[in-house]
A and B are shown apart, each in its own frame.
Chain A
Amino acid sequence: MKKNRVNISGILFYILVIAVMLIILFPFIWQILTSIKSERELWSIPPIWIPKKINLDYYYSVFIKRPFLTYIKNSFIVASSTTVFSVLVASFASYALARLHFKGKNIILSLVLAVSMFPGIAIVSPLYIFMMNVHLLNTYIGLIIPYTTFTLPLAIWNLTTFFREIPFELEESARVDGATYMQTFMRIIFPLAAPGVFTTAILSFISAWNEFLFALVFNTKDMMRTVPVAIAMFPGEHELPWGDMAAASVVVTIPLIIIVLIFQRRIISGLTAGAIKG
């Protein structure tokens, strides 16, 4: 339509877009630059913006001198188990909420929504005592249980939206052919909702990966820490290890950026589905 027409407002528009993108990305770009500086460049005042050559000492320090791989492993085990449990439990519930008739569905949906607003701090004290009594402090399970619960609301809302979109005739014909509810769910509905299930899985994973309060409180042993807590604990007694922290943040952020770039459409639709239709 307006192709090739280079006008001033068009240029201004692009300048605005680029400015916004720069502001959004700047802290991260700065972190990358910091992570590859030499010790001398990092501590110079005023700051040196662009390092003369790439220096990987801080990455070496993060992975070799600190047990950062262990933190990543902890986070990965906790987040992926949470994702599996949450998606499984949520898809059962969402199937029923989206496609079956029974009393109390609206109450259940409102309850689920209410739980998504729960402040973690409101339940952390009894959960801590519980985890202490059953010896689940400093374990993976101790985190997976609350994470599964708190990723359920978003998962249920998302999956309910997806399950509703599948045509009802498919299900009816399967039922006519003598399939049980469970068979219809497992063989017809669940596979058809695969994209929705996948989106929900990504969102659950990211939210479990990023959780801080429970991880900080329940898993206090260094070797059981998750990535967000480990990074928050980097500052020791003395000078702040800015280089290590920068390198560690880059290591954690890059996989997330890749996930976001590949699945941006799905993530956005998953994040916004509840807000618009709800």
Chain B
Amino acid sequence: MNAVKRTRRQGLSESQFGYLMVFPALLCIGLIALYPVVQTFWLSLHRLRLQFPDMTKFVGLQNYITIFGDDRFINATINTVEFTIVSVALELVFGLCIAMLMNKEYKGRGLMRAAALVPWAIPTTVSAMMWKFIYNDQLGVLNDILVRLHIIPEYKAWLGSEVTAMGAAIVADVWKTTPFMALLLLAGLQVIPRELYEAATVDGASAWRQFITITLPLLRPTILVALIFRTLDAFRVFDLVYVLTGGGPGNSTETLSVYAYKTLFRNMDFGMGSALSVIIFVFIFIISLIYIRILSSGSSAE
């Protein structure tokens, strides 16, 4: 009430009131998101181990030089890129299929949509634990199913082998996030006018042809937005890998975020860890710029 009176007395103009209203949000974002990024960069220019704060020393770009010559960093970058590209591509394909299933009218459609929200809603650590048990070499149901179907001859340690661990992590991620992708794409499908399909059917266009000439082009902006969200999410993947494999076996699933986390909080090496964080930030920034470029070039061409 006090605020109301003051507003009236001082007679705030519309724009003054506007700035007043956005101020708390900008304050939060500025203090807790933007300023810390600058701080991370500043930390990354130091040799700084949290156990020995007195030995902190400014070293310029030394941490970055060390990182770029480090095989573990190259390995983590390759893992992250592989994880991102494969899982996002699979999510897009499956997501599009599921979205089209949900876009049809049939009994039980609501149930299908609710089911799709379940993987999205549960914490990633919980879904990672579920999959860890499914993949278990002795007790896991995946081995049981595959052996019963005679697809594999004997039980495998899916998460224990450098060959299969990354694939296993990707499957778990695809399971968790495809439904979200499908819901985003479904929203895009629903705004495509039905008449377009009716007209195409009258003209004798096959279902596949309708998909290529109507659905895909009109869905392009939605697909791009969904891809942005998912690519950036996949690129910073942390909880899933942390719980499922911890980056192992032998760093074969270690992503950049997991590497940065271990450097920061296992080794307590805040200089090096911050440098890794800054690199992740820069990668994310570049990916966003590329997507924004593609998005804006698409809309100006129309």
Contact = CB atoms under 8 A, between A and B. Distances in A.
Interface of A: 13-14, 16-17, 20-21, 23-25, 27-28, 30-31, 34, 42-43, 45-47, 49, 89-90, 92-93, 95-97, 100-103, 105, 108, 111-112, 114-115, 117-130, 145-146, 148-150, 152, 156, 180-183, 185-186, 206, 209-210, 212-213, 216-217, 227-229, 231-232, 234, 242, 245-246, 249, 252-253, 256-257, 259-261, 264, 267-268, 271-272, 275-276, 278
Contacts of A101: 14-15, 18
Given A232-B125, A232-B129, 4 more contacts: A23-B175, A108-B22, A257-B121, A267-B117
Interface in B79-136: 98, 101, 104, 106, 108, 110-119, 121-131, 133-134, 136
A206 B123 CA distance: 9
Nearest to B269: A125
Given A146-B32, A232-B129, A27 B225 contact: no
Contacts of A152: 25, 28-29
A117 B225 CA distance: 12
A121 B115 contact: no
Interface of B: 3-4, 7-8, 12, 14-15, 17-22, 24-26, 28-29, 32-34, 36-37, 39-40, 43, 98, 101, 104, 106, 108, 110-119, 121-131, 133-134, 136, 138-141, 143-144, 147, 175, 179-180, 183-184, 186-188, 191, 222, 225-226, 229, 232, 235-236, 238-239, 242-243, 257, 260-261, 264-265, 270, 273-274, 277-278, 280-281, 284, 288
A206 B119 CA distance: 12
B179 to A, nearest CB: 6
A212 B261 CA distance: 12
Contacts of B108: 17
Given A121-B236, A180-B4, A275-B184, A92 B280 contact: no
B124 A210 contact: yes
Contact of B257 (A103, A121, A123, A146): A121
Nearest to A211: B123
B129 A245 contact: yes
Nearest to A267: B117
Contact of A212 (B28, B104, B124, B225): B124
B115 A253 contact: no
What 10 A-B pairs are tightest by C-beta distance, nearest first? A102-B15, A126-B39, A272-B187, A123-B36, A96-B21, A102-B18, A93-B25, A119-B236, A149-B32, A122-B281
A121 B184 contact: no
A122 B101 contact: no
B101 A20 contact: yes
A253 B124 CA distance: 11
A103 B15 contact: yes
B123 A252 contact: yes
Nearest to A99: B18
A71 to B, nearest CB: 12
12 contacts: A17-B106, A21-B115, A102-B15, A112-B25, A118-B281, A122-B277, A212-B238, A253-B126, A259-B121, A264-B117, A271-B183, A276-B188
Contacts of B226: 275
A216 B123 CA distance: 13
* Interface class of chain B by DSSP: helix
Contacts of B18: 96, 100-102, 105
A156 B21 CA distance: 12
Contact of A148 (B28, B118, B179): B28
A247 to B, nearest CB: 11
Contacts of B273: 125
B199 to A, nearest CB: 18
Nearest to A45: B138
B114 A260 contact: yes
Contacts of B179: 24
Interface centre among A100, A119, A182 (most CB of B within 10 A): A119
B82 to A, nearest CB: 18
Contacts of A148: 28
Contacts of A25: 115, 118
Contacts of B123: 209-210, 212, 227-228, 231, 252
B261 A121 contact: yes
Contacts of B111: 21
B186 to A, nearest CB: 8
A113 to B, nearest CB: 9
A209 B120 CA distance: 13
A231 B175 CA distance: 20
B134 A21 contact: no
Interface centre among A25, A31, A43 (most CB of B within 10 A): A31
B33 to A, nearest CB: 5
Contact of B125 (A156, A217, A231, A260): A231
